[in-house]
Amino acid sequence: MAPQVFSIAQTPITAHAFSADRSQVAVSLNSNDIQVLSYTGSDWTATETLSEHDKIITSIDWAPTSNRIVTASQDRNAYVWQQTPDPETGKVVWKPTLVLLRINRAATHVRWSPKEDKFAVASGARAIAICSFDPENNWWVSKLLKKPIRSTVLAIDWHPNNVLLAAGSADMKARVFSAYIKEVDEKPSPTVWGSKLPFNTVCGEYASPAGGWVHSVGFSPSGDVLAFTGHDSTINVVYPGGPTVHIIRMSTLPLITLAWTSEQTIVAAGHDCQPLVFGGSEAGWQEMGTLDDGSHGGSSGPRSGPGRLNTGAFQAFKNADSRGQGATSGDTKLNTVHQNTITSVRPYQYGSAGEVSSVSTSGVDGNLVLWDANSVTAITGRMAGMSM
């Protein structure tokens, strides 16, 4: 299946989240507003705008069962949006509820817990706010995970048991925390990450050898394995028993987002503008290939394989340098589908065995793309395309 490409905007898409039935998607187009788009059979059209934040929105998550949207923003706030009938017109509208985050820096990332009774908000305040609903006061209250975070938290992901939380941070560490809330959670059964789990227990702390900000973290579907990507162009897979850490050093630019598609496969993407597939087990991991075979991209003419070097823009500068030619009629399109950094990859459809059969990506180029997670192409010619 060829990837389905939807050009949503000319501006970057900072975050996207689909509704449970995939008929709607909430996106933020690098602004203070959330657009809810509906699928009309061929394209996505804006049906509603949710305005309440007064700075750039950084992250969106849509709870599939309870049909609530949570948004986080640089204005240090999070809102939970719920569909309720308007008292005057009777029309169903998205109504915001403010969350008391108690953070003094931007909120950077937000995710609902699997049971949807909690959500976690990562922030620049060296803290993660774990939010749960307080029915007595009818608002969302938060409890902060602080120790031993030393810098901005860039990414979070929930363990399927609703208690453990993985966090990637700019202090170059990926950590696994307990986010156990007495009022909400039942006592969790022991996992590979530990058995006694009071709030703020640090169950693991991992770093890749060359350091770098940890851009994204993810638990495998079983929750027994942790993957994280760093700004040192590596993807690391952690088995906590030993612990065994498999490090894949890539020859390309850093990955900034990842999604597990099964217990043995991960799709990850980033500054190289294409979703890459990694596969393996406790014995070892390797790069399997790419979802972008380079034949659907924007560039016409001879292909040198996906990759960022040796593109039109690169050639234009090269010609200007070596031959003194001005940039006149260079083809500046990349031959990847995404024309700029991919900032988010998320599961889109699930197969019969519970594995992810397709994923969605969005990025700085304003495109939203749906990919068949199984049509993996080996990477060819990429290194050739990088010749200087």
Point out which residues bind another protein (CB under 8 A).
126, 150-151, 171-172, 209-213, 230-234, 249-254, 308-309, 383, 386-388
Give 85 or 209: the residue with its C-beta nearer to another protein.
209
Give 236 or 358: the residue with its C-beta nearer to another protein.
236
3-state secondary structure of 385: helix
Q: Closest approach of Cβ 151 to another protein, in Å?
A: 6
Q: Closest approach of Cβ 75 to another protein, in Å?
A: 23
Instruction: For residue 319, give the amino acid letter.
Output: N
Nearest alpha-carbon partner for 23 in 7, 9, 36, 10: 36
Inter-residue contact 69 to 33 (CB < 8 Å): no
Find tokens 């007595």 and name the residue: 136
Cross-strand bridge partners of residue 144? 129
Longest dimension (CA), the chain: 73
Provide CB contacts within 8 A for 235, sequence distance 6+: 227, 228, 229, 247, 248, 250, 255, 258, 266, 268, 278, 285
Q: Closest approach of Cβ 149 to another protein, in Å?
A: 10
Q: Closest approach of Cβ 314 to another protein, in Å?
A: 12
Q: Closest approach of Cβ 36 to another protein, in Å?
A: 37
Give 56 or 253: the residue with its C-beta nearer to another protein.
253
What are the backbone angles phi and psi of residue 282, rounded to the nearest 5°?
-60, -25
Query: DSSP assignment, residue 185?
Result: P
Query: DSSP assignment, residue 164?
Result: E
Positive or negative torsion for Cα 64, 65, 68, 73: negative
Give 233 or 299: the residue with its C-beta nearer to another protein.
233
Q: Closest approach of Cβ 14 to another protein, in Å?
A: 23
Give 220 or 311: the residue with its C-beta nearer to another protein.
311
Q: Closest approach of Cβ 247 to another protein, in Å?
A: 9
Give 16 or 338: the residue with its C-beta nearer to another protein.
338
Q: Report residue 133 as tokens.
A: 């609903």
Give 218 or 254: the residue with its C-beta nearer to another protein.
254
